[in-house]
Chain A
Amino acid sequence: MAEYVWLIVLIPLIGFLINGIGGLSSEAYRKQKTLIGTIATISVFIPFLIALQIFFGMGADSEPYVARLFTWIEAGSFSSEVAYRVDQLSIIMALVVTGVGALIHLYSMGYMKDDEGYWKFFAYLNLFIFAMLNLVLGNNLILLFLGWEGVGVCSYLLIGYWYGDMAKSDAAKKAFVFNRVGDFAFLVAMFLVFRAVGSLDFDIILNNLSAFTPEITFWVAVLMFIGATGKSAQIPLFVWLPDAMAGPTPVSALIHAATMVTSGIYLISRFSSMYVLTPEAMLIVAIIGGLTAIVAATIAITQYDIKKVLAYSTVSQLGFMFLALGSGGFIAAMFHVVTHAFFKACLFLGSGSVIHAMHHVEHELEHEGKDVHFDPQDMRYMGGLKKYMPSTYWTFLLSTFAIAGIPVFSGFFSKDEILAFVFNAGMGEYSYIYFALWGMAVLTAFLTAYYMFRLTLTTFHGTFKLPSKVKGAEDSEKYLHESPSTMTIPLWILGGLAVIGGFMGVPDFFVTTFTSSDIKINWLHAWLDGVTSDSALVLSYGTKWILVAIAILIAVFATVLAYRNYDNDKGEASDAALEKRFGSLYQVWSDKYKIDEIYDASIIQPTFKLSDRVLAVFDMKIVDGFVNAVGGTVRFFGSLLRFVQTGVVQTYALVFIIGVILVLSLIIF
């Protein structure tokens, strides 16, 4: 079955071509919205089925299968082929991408119903899936990089989907530029790898790690990680992700929560056997990840835009994953990638459902003839939506439990495993730093549960606050309604996965402590053990259980605290109290650490000034002058030569004879 892997990649491309070309060329086709949506959804769903079939045909000990399609580039000793790799790691990623992708496609059919560029939206989505599959299934760095850039382009296109709005197209540009900074480092890493090994094939690189000197290993690892900080929104390049929420909500769910932003984690997991050779690089990864996690979590507490909260939450969770990678818990990181894809996609889609409803209210009020405008994403206008949107509420709540790490829900297992690995890393080299990071991680876990319940409770509990807050919106709650079934079905599926998804990675010691058997119930660990180089857990059962207990306590404590502060419309009062207690610290959080401003002052303004005062002059006087001079000279000679072209055959024959003499003399002498 694995030999059909190329179909997984090809079908989304075909979907993209059908919708893209059809929409471009035919006005009538653009109106067939159901058809367009169905084609796009099916062309992601069929690859999902194929991936599932391949998955069932594999075992934890299956050898990697590489489907080599054709040689793409050949240049001297360099050769790159289009080849797709099926192994335990890539198939998991492919399943997440196509599975979550298909659900979000389905959801988008409802969400984007009234949008004019419907066909364009779905064409872009399919193109994104195609690029993302190239990223995760490619068998060499070139193909991975192609996908890497491809998802960047699609992300740019989709963030700026409503490009008429200046702020949104600026957000798209910002995302693209920040990604490019990371890509540059990634490219340099690729060059280094090629110089050392002479190939970019995964197998060849990973089997020849001895060809690297320790310095090279360190730099390759760090440069790849810098690439990952761009794509996966880590310090210092994370600022684009919150702005990326300008895109349609399904895009945020698919690209900026579930799939694209996790590609950095995939990359590092893929090269895990290289990373374990260089503990310094691992430490850098862990520190950056830990810092990002806590910085983003503190910002999330202060935000009122529901999508912004989720965006900072995503940044924070990604930081968590990098922390796991840096601590040697590659499988733990992948585990969190998968569970995070479930619950965060569900949360984003739920927020989309809420925004959809709020938009509807605004729209209906306009129909009544009232000129009422409010931000449909601001949670201060919401509240009490539980009554009107039960499906959205329940799935949102389940996912919140999952992300908060309440036991049995999926996030609990994955987060707990990460915490265990960070603590475990503290037993080795750089122990103090890792213990400090563990402390930060615990604090982050607390904050996560806190802001997530703040969000859920403010939005769904209490009373609907729009009528009291906005003039002219009285009685507007009658327009609130649940979203259509194309939107709620994906919500329920994802919500269900968010609940049970954790059981794929229940730690072994849950059973082995109590029974004398060393049974392996951690399916995911067994599955991925062959393709990643996880550190060994050296903790005793007692320590492990204490860690679990701490995680549960933290989560429950944060939940209870949030419930006390935010239930029954107490939200704004509690936020004010919080602001008072933390004072200037709170200010720093709500100003997002002023990182955008720092970028502006340190890079953007100086660049503008430099280009305005120095480069522009250089450009106009010297570069243009030189170019014009060269062009002028060439044109002058050109017009001289033109005079020889008289149109008289005799002249031509004469020149011919001169040529004959030239050739004769060249050949003979």
Chain B
Amino acid sequence: MEILNDLLNYLPAAIVAVGGLVVMMMDGYKAKSRLIYQTTMFFLAGALVIATYDLLYQEVGTLFSDMAASGSTAAFGTFIVVFGTFFTVILTHDYLIGVKHNYPQVYPLLMFCTVGMIVLATANDLVTVFIGLETMSISLYALAGIIRDKQLGVESALKYFILGAFSTGFFLYGIALLYGATGSTNLSEIGAYTDGSMIYWGGVSMLLVAFFFKISAVPFHMWTPDVYTGSPTTITAYMSTASKTAAIVALVLILERALPYAADQITSTMAIIAIMTMVLGNTVAMVQDNVKRMLAYSSIAHVGYLLVGLAAGTDLGFTAVLYYLLAYSLMNIGAFGVVAYYEKNHDVHFNNIESYAGLGYKQPLMGILLSVFLLSLAGIPPLAGFIGKYLVFAAAVEAGLINLVIIGVLASAASAYFYLRVMVYLYFKESKEPVKLMKPLRVYSFSLVVLAVLTLYFGILPAGITELIASYFSGNGLAIVP
């Protein structure tokens, strides 16, 4: 039966969805929080295994009457999302216990959110994109405010919700206009359209606006610092990596399949948005004293680099973007993970950079890990962040966007300042008050070590993964920069 075959190709999403329902019911029937956590991990591990298998072997095709895609970018997006969720859940469990707000609802919400992300990353139709985007967003609104007796959290959740609903309106409007212009919501059918009417351009703009909001590109980024600071730290890690990955994978698919006709306009738009994003993200990050807020602005800056790759609009650019997403997920979850570790030793306000003074020596492993992730974020070889930036900029140079790259490289160079600043505090400042750090749980530090090792691995040996990604965009093994 075709539907069964489709379902088999959609197994990661199905497993996560069923898992989400199971843990939700367990929560309803008041199971122990630890058991719920274990069940979640069980389902996620299964999904991760199958997502890995799909990443390597799944054939390219479409599922559910062309509504969703399988293989290539879809499998890649699914893999990163499930991978990110897997580590997020480990970190979140420990973090929430640490800050004494161990709500078991967080697990079903994370699972539903992941389902939304997978749907988004594998969408082949604007309607599917919309369903994925909304499933993801609604869960994220709830997750942002999961610690509901903290004012900051509730405030951020509400802000996120209001602005998110606002952007959803634009997205629906965009779909409606595109449907009006082209008579279809299917990506390839939209891509066949070559008759630029005002309605078409309006639809393209609205679609882009909605995506810019979701990935927090300037000037649609205003919610990001507030929400990222207010949310529980590991959830912030999740929001800034998995949700962006899903949205950008969907965007790559839309740009590649549905909007090749609009490529020139999109390139110029993306370039300008990218410049604004990189410059604003990096400059404002410099003056932040709150590490979490600094990382929020840094994640805006990283979206800028990703937009550089999208602006290139070539196969090379898309490959670079997908690689960057992988690298960025690894290092950003890692960085937030260590920040969460420091935070849970104290309270939520333990994010001021002053309080990091001398922490590098207290728990050497955590200090080293944070340093690795920050160096990778700053783009220092031989870490994955460097290769990511290099690929993105190389693709843009290839596409002739020299000015964009010059600005990008300068902004990236400036970013080293605020990343290294944290390390200066970690290692070269004396702490004013004695700080006691508890020993991290073994699984906690182990998963961070795994992330760090992968960051290093993909920095030193990027060839395998870039070749894999490059094969998504052209049948004939395109010569890719490392």
* Direct contact between the two chains A and B in their complex (CB within 8 A): yes
Query: Contact residues of A with B, CB < 8 Å?
Result: 70-77, 631, 634-635, 637-639, 641-642, 644-645, 647, 649, 651-653, 655-656, 658-660, 662-664, 666-668
Cβ–Cβ contact A653 & B284, under 8 A = no
Q: Which residues of B are found within 8 Å of A644, using beta-carbon distances?
A: 222
A645 to chain B, nearest CB (A): 6
Cβ–Cβ contact B265 & A667, under 8 A = yes
| Listed A/B pairs (17) with beta-carbon separation below 8 Å | A70-B461, A70-B464, A75-B482, A634-B414, A638-B285, A642-B284, A645-B222, A645-B226, A652-B163, A656-B166, A658-B219, A659-B209, A662-B219, A663-B205, A663-B273, A666-B268, A667-B265
Q: At the interface with chain A, which of B43-51, B75-83, B134-142, B196-204?
A: B196-204
Cβ–Cβ contact A667 & B262, under 8 A = yes
Q: Which residues of B are found within 8 Å of A631, using beta-carbon distances?
A: 417
Report the bound CA distance from A637 to B219 in whole Å.
16
Q: Which residues of A are found within 8 Å of B414, using beta-carbon distances?
A: 634
Q: Which residues of A are found within 8 Å of B328, using beta-carbon distances?
A: none
Q: Taking CB as reference atom, which chain A residue is nearest B293?
A: A645
The answer to the question of B213 belonging to the interface, with a C-beta cut-off of 8 Å to chain A, is yes
The answer to the question of B109 belonging to the interface, with a C-beta cut-off of 8 Å to chain A, is no
Cβ–Cβ contact B212 & A668, under 8 A = no
B419 to chain A, nearest CB (A): 14
The 0/1 profile, CB within 8 Å of A marked 1, for residues 64-106 of chain B is: 0000000000000000000000000000000000000000000
> Which of A641, A651, A652 has its CB near the most chain B CB atoms (within 10 A)?
A652
Set A637, A642, A663: member contacting B212, Cβ < 8 A: A663
Q: Which residues of A are found within 8 Å of B272, using beta-carbon distances?
A: 662, 666
Q: Which residues of B are found within 8 Å of A637, using beta-carbon distances?
A: 283
Report the bound CA distance from A535 to B82 in whole Å.
64
The answer to the question of B225 belonging to the interface, with a C-beta cut-off of 8 Å to chain A, is yes
Cβ–Cβ contact A74 & B265, under 8 A = no
Cβ–Cβ contact B167 & A656, under 8 A = yes
Set B208, B225, B287: member contacting A638, Cβ < 8 A: B287
The answer to the question of B479 belonging to the interface, with a C-beta cut-off of 8 Å to chain A, is yes
Cβ–Cβ contact B219 & A653, under 8 A = no
Q: Which residues of B are found within 8 Å of A658, using beta-carbon distances?
A: 219
The answer to the question of B162 belonging to the interface, with a C-beta cut-off of 8 Å to chain A, is yes
Cβ–Cβ contact B208 & A663, under 8 A = yes
Report the bound CA distance from A652 to B258 in whole Å.
30
Q: Taking CB as reference atom, which chain B residue is nearest A634?
A: B283
B481 to chain A, nearest CB (A): 5
Cβ–Cβ contact A647 & B205, under 8 A = no
The answer to the question of B148 belonging to the interface, with a C-beta cut-off of 8 Å to chain A, is no
The 8 tightest CB contacts between A and B, nearest first, are: A652-B222, A659-B219, A638-B287, A638-B283, A666-B269, A667-B205, A71-B463, A664-B205
The answer to the question of B130 belonging to the interface, with a C-beta cut-off of 8 Å to chain A, is no
The answer to the question of B286 belonging to the interface, with a C-beta cut-off of 8 Å to chain A, is yes
Q: Which residues of A are found within 8 Å of B269, using beta-carbon distances?
A: 663, 666-667
The answer to the question of B280 belonging to the interface, with a C-beta cut-off of 8 Å to chain A, is yes
Q: Which residues of B are found within 8 Å of A655, using beta-carbon distances?
A: 219-220, 222
Report the bound CA distance from A186 to B168 in whole Å.
60
Cβ–Cβ contact B226 & A647, under 8 A = yes
Tell me whether A641 and B212 are in contact in the complex, defined as CB-CB below 8 angstroms, given that A652-B159, A658-B219, A659-B220 are known contacts: no
Q: Taking CB as reference atom, which chain A residue is nearest B262?
A: A667
Interface residues of B in 281-313 (CB under 8 A from A): 283-287
The answer to the question of B170 belonging to the interface, with a C-beta cut-off of 8 Å to chain A, is yes
Tell me whether A663 and B482 are in contact in the complex, defined as CB-CB below 8 angstroms, given that A70-B464, A649-B162, A656-B220 are known contacts: no
Q: Which residues of A are found within 8 Å of B266, using beta-carbon distances?
A: 667
Q: Which residues of B are found within 8 Å of A662, using beta-carbon distances?
A: 219, 272
Set B204, B213, B222, B265: member contacting A651, Cβ < 8 A: B222
Cβ–Cβ contact B280 & A641, under 8 A = yes
Q: Which residues of B are found within 8 Å of A647, using beta-carbon distances?
A: 226
Report the bound CA distance from A72 to B269 in whole Å.
36
Q: Which residues of B are found within 8 Å of A649, using beta-carbon distances?
A: 159, 162-163
Cβ–Cβ contact B287 & A635, under 8 A = yes
Tell me whether A652 and B209 are in contact in the complex, defined as CB-CB below 8 angstroms, given that A666-B272, A667-B265 are known contacts: no
Set B163, B205, B225, B286: member contacting A653, Cβ < 8 A: B163
The answer to the question of B179 belonging to the interface, with a C-beta cut-off of 8 Å to chain A, is no
The answer to the question of B480 belonging to the interface, with a C-beta cut-off of 8 Å to chain A, is yes
Q: Which residues of B are found within 8 Å of A668, using beta-carbon distances?
A: 198, 201-202, 205
Contacts A74-B467, A662-B219 aside, 7 further interface pairs with beta carbons under 8 A come to: A72-B463, A73-B463, A75-B481, A644-B222, A662-B272, A667-B205, A667-B266
Cβ–Cβ contact B286 & A663, under 8 A = no
Report the bound CA distance from A70 to B461 in whole Å.
9
Q: Which residues of B are found within 8 Å of A71, using beta-carbon distances?
A: 463-464
Report the bound CA distance from A77 to B482 in whole Å.
11
Report the bound CA distance from A75 to B462 in whole Å.
11
Report the bound CA distance from A260 to B162 in whole Å.
67
Set A76, A635, A666, A667: member contacting B479, Cβ < 8 A: A76
Report the bound CA distance from A488 to B206 in whole Å.
82
Report the bound CA distance from A457 to B442 in whole Å.
62
Report the bound CA distance from A211 to B456 in whole Å.
38
Cβ–Cβ contact B265 & A666, under 8 A = yes
The answer to the question of B37 belonging to the interface, with a C-beta cut-off of 8 Å to chain A, is no
Q: Which residues of A are found within 8 Å of B170, using beta-carbon distances?
A: 660
> Which of B159, B209, B222, B226 has its CB near the most chain A CB atoms (within 10 A)?
B222
Set A72, A638, A660: member contacting B461, Cβ < 8 A: A72
A83 to chain B, nearest CB (A): 13
The 0/1 profile, CB within 8 Å of A marked 1, for residues 360-399 of chain B is: 0000000000000000000000000000000000000000
Q: Which residues of A are found within 8 Å of B204, using beta-carbon distances?
A: 667
Q: Taking CB as reference atom, which chain A residue is nearest B220?
A: A659
The answer to the question of B427 belonging to the interface, with a C-beta cut-off of 8 Å to chain A, is no
Cβ–Cβ contact B166 & A634, under 8 A = no
Cβ–Cβ contact B208 & A667, under 8 A = yes
The answer to the question of B223 belonging to the interface, with a C-beta cut-off of 8 Å to chain A, is yes
A422 to chain B, nearest CB (A): 45
Report the bound CA distance from A631 to B479 in whole Å.
39
Interface residues of B in 238-285 (CB under 8 A from A): 262, 265-266, 268-269, 272-273, 280, 283-285
Q: Which residues of B are found within 8 Å of A75, using beta-carbon distances?
A: 481-482
B54 to chain A, nearest CB (A): 23
Q: Taking CB as reference atom, which chain A residue is nearest B279?
A: A637
Report the bound CA distance from A634 to B284 in whole Å.
9
Q: Which residues of B are found within 8 Å of A72, using beta-carbon distances?
A: 461, 463
B440 to chain A, nearest CB (A): 15
B480 to chain A, nearest CB (A): 7
Q: Taking CB as reference atom, which chain B residue is nearest A647?
A: B226
Q: Which residues of A are found within 8 Å of B159, using beta-carbon distances?
A: 649, 652
Report the bound CA distance from A659 to B208 in whole Å.
11
A658 to chain B, nearest CB (A): 6
Interface residues of B in 19-61 (CB under 8 A from A): none
Cβ–Cβ contact A663 & B287, under 8 A = no
Interface residues of B in 173-225 (CB under 8 A from A): 198, 201-202, 204-206, 208-209, 212-213, 218-220, 222-223, 225
Q: Which residues of A are found within 8 Å of B262, using beta-carbon distances?
A: 667
Cβ–Cβ contact B222 & A656, under 8 A = yes
Q: Which residues of A are found within 8 Å of B265, using beta-carbon distances?
A: 666-667
Report the bound CA distance from A663 to B464 in whole Å.
37
Q: Which residues of B are found within 8 Å of A74, using beta-carbon distances?
A: 463, 466-467, 479-482
Q: Taking CB as reference atom, which chain A residue is nearest B163?
A: A652
A344 to chain B, nearest CB (A): 36
Q: Taking CB as reference atom, which chain A residue is nearest B285?
A: A638
Report the bound CA distance from A656 to B221 in whole Å.
8
Cβ–Cβ contact A638 & B163, under 8 A = no
Interface residues of B in 424-482 (CB under 8 A from A): 461, 463-464, 466-467, 479-482
Cβ–Cβ contact B225 & A645, under 8 A = yes
Cβ–Cβ contact B482 & A73, under 8 A = yes
Q: Which residues of A are found within 8 Å of B466, using beta-carbon distances?
A: 74
Q: Which residues of A are found within 8 Å of B212, using beta-carbon distances?
A: 659, 663
Cβ–Cβ contact B463 & A653, under 8 A = no
Q: Which residues of A are found within 8 Å of B201, using beta-carbon distances?
A: 667-668
B178 to chain A, nearest CB (A): 13
Q: Taking CB as reference atom, which chain A residue is nearest B204?
A: A667
Report the bound CA distance from A651 to B463 in whole Å.
45
